[in-house]
Structure 1
Amino acid sequence: MSAMLDPRSLTVVVTGATSGIGAAAVRRFAAAGSRVVAMARRTDRLADLRAELGEAILPVELDVRDRDATLAAFAGLPAPFADYNVVFANAGLAVGLDPAQQASLDAWDTMVETNINGLLYTVRASLPAMIARKQGHVVLTGSLAGDFPYPGANVYGATKAFVKQFSLNLWADVAGTGVRVTNIEPGLVETEFSMVRFEGDKGRADKVYAGADPMTGADIAEQVFFCCTLPRHVNINRIQAMPSRQTFGNMAVRRD
């Protein structure tokens, strides 16, 4: 087998970098000697990451929903961070768990703007430079919800189905260019995800994970790290992972 890539050769851009899977990925790559561009909206948390991890981290305030700002953020990266060869388009969220007929249109818009538009802006802003350098890796954060429906996941699940298909179509476009594409599709992961979904209702969020021994952000970051350090002739298209207490649900039957 060919040697794994030296993580010190990687310059990694992470969006949604200040919590959950994103923050765990920043820490995992930085610990291995990679340079990391941490992009997120919350400047206080970006400052904390910089204080924790030092000069290997470049904090960049960014809301990926802003197309012009996203394009400018990638175009304006200073050396040596401008020579990124991994982009982890991780920013995303779920808002609400109401059935479609009761759901908030504002919540739907927020999920589409972040999970789809923000991801597209991130990929389009970063891809040409990696192709020109004939070296890169686009990693997307999908979800099992992109394959398996559940009540209340209406638009969230649909956005993640988009991510899955976009990742496959993107790979069809870039195969042979030196750029790889991977979609990471986790199941139950205990992060701030449910706190955001339930608008800060900690009791409701905690019930999602209670007794389930869920995965952590670090578990998923390790999967990202593995994919990105494989020899360059190997591409992992998709990774689906669940905690060992989670499995596929039975088909629901609505009875009178």
Structure 2
Amino acid sequence: MKKRKNNTISGQFSARLIEMQASPAYRVLSLAAHRLISRIEIELANHGGNDNGRLPVTFDDFQEYGIDRHSIAPAINEAEALGFIEVTERGRQGQANRRRPNYFRLTYRPLPTDRKGDGTHEWRRIAAGLEGEDALDEARRIAKLSRQKTDSLVGEITRDSGDSPLKQATNRGKTPLPESGKNPTTIYISGEDTEQPRREARPPHGAVASGAAAPSNAPTQRDDILHATIAARLGGAIGWQILQNLEPDHLRNLTALQDRGELGEPVLVELRLAHLKRKAA
């Protein structure tokens, strides 16, 4: 009589690498982010294991699965910032004939066109080079920053263009102003006053090369102080990297917001996440 194997799974299942489950990024995931990832895995199974990168999941789907509606957008941000998912196409709210869901990709599953049969595993890059509590602290910081992004940066409640407010403002070349009575920290850095002198962020005891710029174009002492404050809020050395990569008009507006005490966390979170995505690319 043939002995029956005791490792048989009687139905569809979703495999996750032990390495991934032991990673700092996975260990700091919130309950909402865990549920969100699981619901996307279910959607992948509903597609027969195909269509990774084109998996439509609506806010209603997530809510039905057990995620509080107000927690869905932060959970998407968190799971994406920690490298487990990618929002490949932003959704849009509106009337029934114009509404569309987000489309997702699981980074630890292959794309249909991937002959290697493996994912991209961006979660491996979170806290890379760190160990123990240092790695967990870095992962927690990324998770916390990502959850603080404004809802308008994600999914079905984005503008019709599907872009973030920062990108929309950049495309228009204008600074979006808050409505009367709204918190000014929702202003995103961009500007239309391009005739002002070019100013670049520079760390203490050093300067960013600016070619043959005239001395009047160099940052003032107050600018240096404001840049240092912004860099510290963004994360020290990483903060300086972010500032030095900004376009001059963006840096001017960012500095002006800090000078007025109007530079809010949503702007800083957007900048830091954009920087992390560039590094991971």
Q: Given the two structures, how large is their TM-score scaled by the length of structure 2?
A: 0.24
Q: Which has the higher contact order (CA 8 A, sep 6+)?
A: 1
* TM-score relative to the length of structure 1: 0.26
Asked which structure has the greater CA Rg, the reply is 2
